[in-house]
Amino acid sequence: MNPTAPKPNTLFIEVSGSGIPEIDGLFVPSTAPPVESESGTVSSLGYWNGKMAWDRADGKGARSPALSYSNSYRSWRICRLDGHLAYDFTTDDALPPADREWHVYKMGVAPAPSVVIHHFDPRQPLPAPNVVFVLGGPGSGKGTMCALAEAQLGWTHLSTGDLLRAERKAGGETAAAIERYITAGELVPNEITVTLLKNAMDAAMRRTGRINFLLDGFPRSLDNMEGWYEIFGREAELPRMLHFECPYAVLEQRILGRAQYSGRSDDNIESMKLRFDTFKEKTLPTLQLFRSKNKVVEVDASQGREDVYALVKQSLAAHTDPELAAQPLTEASEMRLGLRPYPKRS
């Protein structure tokens, strides 16, 4: 293949709320073969002016793509069926903006539509995710290591604890219940946790196109595992598990260290003891189950951060993009590893 040839466009774009029927809808990557103009220039509909362009799902945009980039105006444009410009956005961004308001041009209808970019065809079910569970006592470093793997290795980090805290903050109907369980160091019921997890995984896959997940702090009980089976099926292969092993005295020190800045209602000696009891009573049986199926990688998490991260990186290597794995550490990653101080708070 010619290395300079444009890459095929594989993204899907959903446009809604424009008030113009031919604009609202799904923009799909073009499958039309490249065409040769009279002067002999070959262009592909999936690629326009050096940037990706989008055809219409109904094929109405056969002559020129309805969503395209103009190099001369340096802007993304959405055109009506009659070719008139309806919306534009001046930027050099590689993709049409999905998080900012578009400008309404002469033939457009205000307000500008919202634009959502999908990495997978939204009309089809999502592919199966590749999941690794990460378990370990409170303060064993799950969050720290998963955040590193996300920033450096391209895995998506989802912490059920963080999802629950975000849901509590959003103040929905389950917020009060979540608060009670978390402060008591007990496990939040399955209906809440597993639903949050499933929704977050789907949204992340569509948004990023990435299917590698580190699920931090899940499954915390055999009951959680039942919830998992209900959603992903009993036939699906059991995910692998990283177990962060660390003595209680070390965990306690770390949690008390973090308590100075975390603002977490469970970062105190009393909640910490309850969390550890819950870990032994509810989470250890899950770990045993995974051990009996040879699915566990044991990680000595009492070591320094760099050593723990090296083990994590190694155990994820088979599914990690080697180019990402070879990247130098970002500043934020160096801070997480304790190689660089965090900036002083004012």
User: Which residues make up the interface to ligand UP5 (CB under 6 A)?
Assistant: 136, 138-144, 159-161, 164, 181-182, 185-188, 193, 217-218, 220, 254, 257-258, 266, 275, 304-305, 308
C-alpha–C-alpha distance, residues 62 and 83, integer Å = 12
Q: Which does 254 bind (CB under 5 to 8 A by kind): ligand UP5, Mg ion, none?
A: ligand UP5
C-alpha–C-alpha distance, residues 242 and 295, integer Å = 9
Q: How far is the CB of 182 from ligand UP5 (least distance, A)?
A: 4
Contact between 18 and 85 under an 8 Å Cβ cutoff? The reply is no
Name the burial class of residue 272, with classes exposed (0-12), middle (13-18) and buried (19+) by CB atoms within 10 angstroms of its CB: buried
Q: Which does 154 bind (CB under 5 to 8 A by kind): ligand UP5, Mg ion, none?
A: none
Q: What is the 3-state secondary structure (H, E, C) of 61-101?
A: CCCCCCEEEECCCCEEEEECCCCCEEEEEECCCCCCCCCCC
Beta-strand ranges (E) seen in 160-316 are 212-216, 240-245, 296-300
Q: Which does 136 bind (CB under 5 to 8 A by kind): Mg ion, ligand UP5, none?
A: ligand UP5
Q: Is the dihedral of CA 125, 321, 313, 138 positive or negative?
A: negative
Q: Does 143 bind Mg ion (CB under 5 A)?
A: yes
In the complex with Mg ion, the residue whose CB is nearer, 66 or 146, is: 146
Q: How far is the CB of 78 from Mg ion (least distance, A)?
A: 42
Q: Which does 164 bind (CB under 5 to 8 A by kind): ligand UP5, Mg ion, none?
A: ligand UP5
In the complex with ligand UP5, the residue whose CB is nearer, 109 or 259, is: 259
3 state SS of 172: coil
Q: How far is the CB of 149 from Mg ion (least distance, A)?
A: 13
Contact set for Mg ion, span 233-292 (CB under 5 A): none
Q: How far is the CB of 87 from ligand UP5 (least distance, A)?
A: 42
Strands 212-216 and 130-136: parallel
Instruction: Compute, in degrees rounded to 10, the torsion defined by CA atoms 211, 45, 57, 198.
Output: 10
Contact between 122 and 57 under an 8 Å Cβ cutoff? The reply is no
> At 130, which amino acid appears?
N
Q: How far is the CB of 263 from ligand UP5 (least distance, A)?
A: 12
Q: Does 137 bind Mg ion (CB under 5 A)?
A: no
Contact set for Mg ion, span 145-174 (CB under 5 A): none
Q: Does 141 bind Mg ion (CB under 5 A)?
A: no
Q: What tokens appear for 280 in the block?
A: 């032994």
Q: How far is the CB of 125 from ligand UP5 (least distance, A)?
A: 25
In the complex with ligand UP5, the residue whose CB is nearer, 9 or 159, is: 159
Q: Which does 139 bind (CB under 5 to 8 A by kind): Mg ion, ligand UP5, none?
A: ligand UP5
Q: Give the bridge partners for 36, in sequence order.
A: 42
Q: How far is the CB of 247 from ligand UP5 (least distance, A)?
A: 12
Q: Which residues bind Mg ion (CB under 5 A)?
A: 143
